[in-house]
Structure 1
């Protein structure tokens, strides 16, 4: 049948699934087991020091970090309106209890609210978070009547240790955290030596010192404002060595964890390198098997007046066209081939009918018909045949006939 747009659609409709290349060509070296961590840190240890002759007062500079910004780990409490009976609406108590829900700010800085989705609140003040939540409720067509408050402050903290009732970590809340409030949260100062005890504050790599007597005598020192990341240590010793040892130990622990992370990253990189080598080896093995013809492939066969009679391997993962097969095999011989007699022959898919063959004829002498060659999809075991020119057939007959005449004439003359 002639190869036309309609017959191309029919031919391409035959079921065929190209062979796939191995999964190693689609995989990447990532996706390892992740960081393993630094393990347990050693327990801290601080020794007593000798009393100095005097203690210097070094007060940390005044700070004003501005309004509280919500951070990761904080728990915000959302109260919304709920339907209730008249008594409940008048009292407001039961309705408020039923409508209050706490949400923890997750690692990505968002809270997940049912029917609303994830709302980014980290880094926002309470007023900014209310505006963001109001916008999200309106966008989801939910009644934007609500109240928002912070139920738990977990993102900003100050560590208090040393000679206190109970070493603790005090949260920084909406109310500025002062030195006296932080010490009260730790159970107060517990030392009998008021003359040489001191309060030391570690902030941003600097160490500040307030002698205990000065602290008790001056109310303004008691109201020293603390900020996130401060460490307060009540020292009953008399040199900075002990406090410095305490903070150096904290720094050493941080460095230990950092080194553990670096080691974990190195292990992860090594794991990725091993995975990459394994993938490259699997890919190389597959290419070697192809080169040795040890891989099952689907082929199309080119014969007749083609430049190079051969078999054309159908590619992995996609269909190939008649044009792909022709030009991959250097096309047809311009001197001997008859481009008007180009055929694609395909055996019957019906079992037991090897004699039933469909042949599509393409008149390639019309250049516009070659567009059909770019659309005609090939199937395994198709045969592409190009007939010879009539003059080529005649020349070949002569080439076979003339030597026979010469041979016969020579034999007669010899007799």
Structure 2
């Protein structure tokens, strides 16, 4: 009989302790079990006594991890959605680019090959041969930016357009020829190029010639972008400076302001979408890491992709989105969706997730109680078996 009384007393204490842990050691509204601030203070003081303050120097303030004051908590409402809604790109013109294209003129540089023809004077023109290509028939721009031409000698041509070079040769040949007729062409464009790297079908080097090359031309020349590319974060590196461009706006919306006229040594890098992902955790069917696809990802899509939240254990009023805060004095912005009214789920279809967002669905109080019960039952059963054994003896 005494054993039975002890068993009942132990069982009662266990359940009382679990009740206290469910009510006293939780973060309000978050349903996350932990150690209360007072318990942290007590544990810290006890540790200081045991170590004579050697490890913590008697200071217990740093041991309390209470970030309530450092978090912005925002209830998702139609007004909040309008305030955080990103402006969608629209079709637009690019007057600056259009002017650059209209005034574009290729300038010769080191490594290019020029083909210079003096009409009615074949002796001044390198003759064409059966086994000669246009490059072998031309004049190579040397490392000093010069070419050699009969009667003229060394002529500096680097950084000049074809028209300027033609006028210069014509003016110099007038000393020896009457009304010379000159034609100058670039036989081989070797001097200027731009590079396309990253998540494209075929990373390549795109030569720049007499036809201007834009960002759109270079991407298409590389075979387009891959499925795992991050459309919205393409980097154009020019003169050691990076510029972020949005191919989604350019391709899908026709926003020509994202297009650029490329220059020599420009680097276009299309990153992978490894960092464009969100994390869905808590009381959902399948906790997962989800990529953000090209057209974006809403909260409703994220919940749908993981099978939705568990209706038996989830607290529909506690759907949270944790996002790094832009406020330097805050750690995070925590958006809460109260979906206890199913009609509120329509707000989830309008809430767009951002890279590295964390979606967390909390558990209902009864679900947390059931978890505690399931953990305590083996202990209670063990005590009951021990009691039966003592009675048999």
**Bin for the TM-score computed over the shorter chain:** 0.3 to 0.5
Structure number with higher relative contact order (C-alpha < 8 Å, ≥ 6 residues apart)? 1
Q: Give TM-score scaled by structure 2 length.
A: 0.38
Q: Give TM-score scaled by structure 1 length.
A: 0.36
Larger radius of gyration: 1
